Amino acid sequence: MSNYNILILGASYGSLLASKLMFGGHNVTLVCLPAEADLINAEGFRVRMPVRGRKEQIEIDSRKLPGKVTAAGPADVDPSKFDLIGLAMQEPQYGSPGVRELLGAVARSRVPCMSIMNMPPLAYMRRIPGLDAEALKPAYTAPEVWDDFDPGTLTLCSPDPQAVRPPEEKVNVLQVTLPTNFKVARFDSEASNSILLQLEKDIDAVRFAAPEGPIELPVKLRFHDSLFVPLAKWAMLMAGNYRCITKDGMRTAQEAVHSNLAESRSIYDFVVEVCVQFGASRNELVPFEKYAAAAESLTRPASAARALNNGAPNIERADKLVQLVARQKGMSHPVLDAIVNLVDTRLQANRNKAAA
């Protein structure tokens, strides 16, 4: 079996993917802030997750896994030395000093790169036939950072699993709240695809040593030939995550979806239709009923809403991205337009406050 060396930018959500890879004996380097790096290098990280049919959740301790983890700052890694690179930061972070330069080196290295961002990298959008990616630039904080990528070397993973860092814990603890699968689209290169297929197999084989015996863990990696499979996340983001944002605060995803189910279904089905217009088939996307059932357990506001409440001057604008994609087919939806306007207004208020 090949043991891969994998670089992941972003240690929060990135540690969930890292834990799965390390179970398979692969080594992971996490790029993160100095305080996070010091803690992870000293104590490793913990990932807690619920397992179906089990009352107690399990805790994965990275120090007990076959693979090894190291953490480093953006200036301390050479992307060309890795077999695969994961992108697990929020989109605005890629334009920040240090990370911007590292992303440029990642692009030029041509090492296969897998995004687990809610916001697909602009270079991935260039892989969608019939889509004018240039017209999508206004949705990105720093669109130019994606220019050096060969789009065929960059793929997208639907970041369906939900996870948060519990505020009362150290920053090396991640709590999984919705343990679903990462669904990854193919690369253009078969050699790169073989890495994904090997990782899928390794993660499938994982068994966790629980007191009652070895148990299978949720959150798998699922390889798909279609470029549209990861875009199934868009409808969920528009019906749930971005509707957590309110005029003067936030609400949970459960409230966002279930307080007005007809409106949620309407915007969800609209986004599905946008994907279909560009070539997705409906069976690659997730039916609204399945999403609405999962949303029952989403008892926290989404990260975009939390970031706005915390005064962020920039957040991921998947809302604006979907709006711009839809416009290319002459499509629009009043709920989506209202979300985009609300986020624009809230961001401007945050920027004004920061400048005052």
Domain boundary among 195, 224, 253: 224
190-221, pLDDT tens digit by residue?
999 999 999 999 999 999 999 999 999 999 99
Contacts 24+ apart (CB under 8 A), 188-195: 188/127, 188/151, 188/152, 188/153, 189/112, 189/152, 189/153, 192/84, 192/112, 192/153, 193/223, 195/4, 195/83, 195/84, 195/112
Structure tokens at 328: 């290319």
Does 198 lie in the same domain as 236?
no
63-93, pLDDT tens digit by residue?
999 999 999 999 999 999 999 999 999 999 9
**Confidence (pLDDT) at 182:** 95
- Which range marks the domain in which residue 207 is found? 5-224
Does 104 lie in the same domain as 21?
yes
96-141, pLDDT tens digit by residue?
999 999 999 999 999 999 999 999 999 999 999 999 999 999 999 9
Q: For residue 274, give the nearest of 314, 234, 222, 218 by alpha carbon.
A: 234
For 86, half-sphere exposure in the C-beta direction (CA atoms, 13 angstrom radius) is 32
Does 248 lie in the same domain as 210?
no
Residue 184 pairs in a beta bridge with 157, 223
Percent of the chain with pLDDT strictly greater than 70: 100
Global pTM value: 0.96
139-148, pLDDT tens digit by residue?
999 999 999 9
Say which DSSP state 130 is in: T
Does 192 lie in the same domain as 105?
yes
286-322, pLDDT tens digit by residue?
999 999 999 998 888 999 999 999 999 999 999 999 9
pLDDT band at 46 (very low <50, low <70, confident <90, very high): very high
CA torsion, points 202, 203, 205, 211, in degrees to nearest 10? 140
Domain boundary among 192, 224, 256: 224
Name the 3-class secondary structure at 59. Answer: strand
Domain boundary among 198, 224, 250: 224
Signed CA dihedral, 33, 38, 41, 44: sign only: negative
Does 61 lie in the same domain as 85?
yes
Q: How many domains does the chain have?
A: 2
Answer for the pair 140, 183: CB distance below 8 angstroms, yes or no.
no
How remote is the C-alpha of 180 from its chain's centroid? Answer: 12
Does 146 lie in the same domain as 18?
yes
CA pair distance 197, 151, nearest whole angstrom: 20
Percent of the chain with pLDDT strictly greater than 90: 95
CA pair distance 336, 327, nearest whole angstrom: 12
